[in-house]
Amino acid sequence: MSLTLEQVRRVAHLARIEVSDAEAQTTLGHLNGIFALIEEMQAVDTNGVEPMAHAQDLAQRLRADRVTEENRRLAFQAVAPETEAGLYLVPKVIE
Amino acid sequence: MITRGVSALSQALAAREISSVELTQLYLDRIARFNPTLNAYITVDAEKSLAQARAADELRAAGNATRLTGIPLAQKDIFCAQGWLTTCGSKMLSNFVSPYDATVIEHFNAAGAVILGKTNMDEFAMGSSSETSFYGVVKNPWDTARVAGGSSGGSAAAVAALLAPAATGTDTGGSIRQPAALCNLTGLKPTYGVVSRYGMIAYASSLDQGGPMARSAEDCALLLNTMAGFDERDSTSLDRVKEDYSRELAAAKGDKPLAGLRIGLPREFFGDGCAPEVMQLVEAAIGEYRKLGAETVAVSLPNMKLSVAAYYVIAPAEASSNLSRFDGVRYGYRAPEYDDLNDMYARSRAQGFGEEVKRRILIGTYVLSHGYYDAYYLQAQRIRRLIANDFVEAFRQCDVIIGPTSPSTAFRLGEKASDPVQMYLSDIYTLAVNLAGLPGMSIPCGFADRLPAGLQLIGDYFSETKLLDVAHRYQQVTDWHVQHPDGFDRAV
């Protein structure tokens, strides 16, 4: 299998990573090399094998529905690129 | 003083031979002298470290010291530490002063340990050479033209050059064991779920596990005693009874301390692909184990060869999801110029992430995308099951598995940096352990051309205590682990 330049651009868009034409070209070469390595998986018969998502195969633990965190908004917003009146600022989304 | 490990330093502190302030200052001076050569630390903050050291000395004066009180430790820059710049080796977090502590840091602080600094690493722990850091490459103290291994290369270089008595690392595909091997350290990746991941910046959540990197198994046990434990803030933390991982080490067991131990030698570890000079040292170590009373049995891990393929689907898939949080909104880097919200995301991520991180995010996004999920992601998870089952089968015939940690000694800086596939293949002996979620160690087993090689020990789930004992017994009869590189002034 081999990716196309258009697929690289599409994946980069899905991942929200800007790529220049030159970068897309280099990335294409690297990704194809990596997928050639991954491809050996396809020859393996895994019929009836249960996918393993997690090392311990445990169910997600539930916790009581109560507040455990204190409000530390100021401390957390101190590391934000841009805030105002306790809100995170981003470019205007709706005109 | 400077060549002493954690255990010996702990005794020196208890005997009032030295104070924590003096010990911390000793290390800070060495860091100032030698870090410019090695680039092992990203952040050092003498004032903060010394304040912790003073508090530790007071704790001791008040009679409330633990084994780690006053011990300065290097923390991998993947662990959030309140008030410390925490970069994860990335430009993306170049301005991130953490507002909170990781659970591991909290445990060390509670024990009275001192944070000596934050160590360099491959960006977001993605790499095997510590060359992908935004803060520059880490150099191997045994030969500064070579890599220290990765991703915990800064921690490994710091401990090897005596710029810290011990350090933390994290291991997603070998990132504790491989740099430990390349820098002549003892490193332990615990069973998945033993050490909390809370505040440990996520790469591949089903594989990531923190652990100690030190001079000896004895020191690793001491650190693990503080690091391990159930944490309700980590959804995959395991609720188990607290263990003393040192408990086997002190016992006198005669001259055949490992009598009855069955060591499994998987044929897949002993075929082609490993440098002969490394294999020779591994074979010699196995001979040493026989002298200690262990017997060896041939075992097989037939699916291990698929671990590189499965890993490079699963880890990037999880990374693409984990790293979507870095969007320039709530923390981290934001591009200076952009047109709209989407453009802000795309440019912040393009500028904030390095090449290898972007590459893995793209692989992950692709294998999770519509039409490819079954063929790649699900298939990789099925193969993961086959790999884990191989270990279940092997551990029916043996108690511990032994082989090389890395197929070669430290390679040259730049040698594999431009070829991701060659870099990925250097993790061939370590990846399967993470996929199965097992504990694994690397211990020093000798030198080839003055470069250290590592012996890998793999145990069944929750067998850390046994692994540490197996490592310790070898270290009682060998002196590889107490060798230090030249050129870093040991006379202090």
Note the pTM of the prediction, 2 decimals: 0.97
Is B142 in the A-facing interface, judged by CB distances under 8 Å?
no
* Residues B455-484 as b or e (16 or more Cβ within 10 Å = b): bbbbbbbbbbbbbbbbbbbbbeebebbeeb
| pLDDT, tens only, B112-126 | 999 999 999 999 999
Q: Which of A39, A51, A61 lies nearest to residue B235, judging by beta carbons? A: A61
A83 in any annotated domain? no
Is A38 inside any structural domain?
yes
A44 contacts B346? CB cut-off 8 A: no
Tell me how far apart the alpha carbons of residues B268 and B303 are, in angstroms, rounded to a whole number: 9
Looking at per-residue confidence, does B331 or A95 come out higher?
Answer: B331
Q: Please state the domain count of chain A.
A: 1
pLDDT at A18 over 90: yes
User: pLDDT in tens for each of the 492 residues of chain B?
Assistant: 999 999 999 999 999 999 999 999 999 999 999 999 999 999 999 999 999 999 999 999 999 999 999 999 999 999 999 999 999 999 999 999 999 999 999 999 999 999 999 999 999 999 999 999 999 999 999 999 999 999 999 999 999 999 999 999 999 999 999 999 999 999 999 999 999 999 999 999 999 999 999 999 999 999 999 999 999 999 999 999 999 999 999 998 889 999 999 999 999 999 889 999 999 999 999 999 999 999 999 999 999 999 999 999 999 999 999 999 999 999 999 999 999 999 999 999 999 999 999 999 999 999 999 889 999 999 999 999 999 999 999 999 999 999 999 999 999 999 998 888 889 998 999 999 999 999 999 999 999 999 999 999 999 999 999 999 999 999 999 999 999 999 998 876
Q: Which chain A residue's Cα is nearest to B340?
A: A91
Task: List, by residue number, the catalytic residues of B.
Answer: 76, 151, 175
Helices (H) and strands (E) in chain B, counts: 15, 13
Out of A11, A30, A37, closest to residue B308 by CB: A37
In a domain, A28, yes or no: yes
Is residue A24 situated within a structural domain? yes
Give the C-alpha separation, B327 to B324, whole Å.
Answer: 7
Per-position b or e across B21-45, b if 16+ CB within 10 A of its CB: bebbbbbbebbeebbeebbbbbbbb
* Dist CA B241 CA B110 (whole Å): 19
| Cis before B206? omega within 30 | no
Question: Which residues in chain B are contacts of A14 at CB distance < 8 A?
Answer: 365, 369
Report CB contact under 8 Å: A79, B349. no
> What DSSP character marks residue B192?
T
Flag whether A91 is in a domain: no
Structural domain boundaries enclosing A27: 5-43
Residue A39 domain-assigned (yes or no): yes
Question: Residues B190, B407, B450, CA angle at the centre, nearest 5°?
Answer: 100
Coarse DSSP helix, strand, coil percentages of chain A, rounded to the nearest 5 percent: 40, 5, 55
Contact flag B193-A56 (C-beta cutoff 8 Å): yes
**B471-490 residues touching A, CB cutoff 8 A:** none
A48, part of any domain: no
Predicted confidence at residue A60, as pLDDT, reads 80
Query: Beta strands of B348-480 (E only): which ranges?
Result: 400-404, 440-448, 451-459
> Could you tell me if A42 lies within 8 Å of chain B, comparing CB atoms?
yes
**Cβ atoms of B156 and B170 closer than 8 Å:** no
Assess B236–A contact: CB distance below 8 Å, yes or no: yes
Kindly state whether A45 is in contact with chain B, defined as any CB-CB distance less than 8 angstroms: no
> Phi and psi at residue B133, in whole multiples of 5°?
-65, 140
Residue A49 lies in a domain: no
Q: Which CATH number does the domain housing residue A10 bear?
A: 1.10.20
CA atoms of B441 and B429, how far apart (whole Å): 12
Q: What is the pLDDT of residue B418?
A: 86
Of B96, B308, B379, the CB nearest to A79: B96
pLDDT at A1: 65
Question: Is residue B333 a contact partner of residue B95, using CB atoms and an 8 Å limit?
Answer: yes
Q: Is B436 on the interface with A (CB under 8 A)?
A: yes
Of B313, B340, B425, the CB nearest to A91: B340
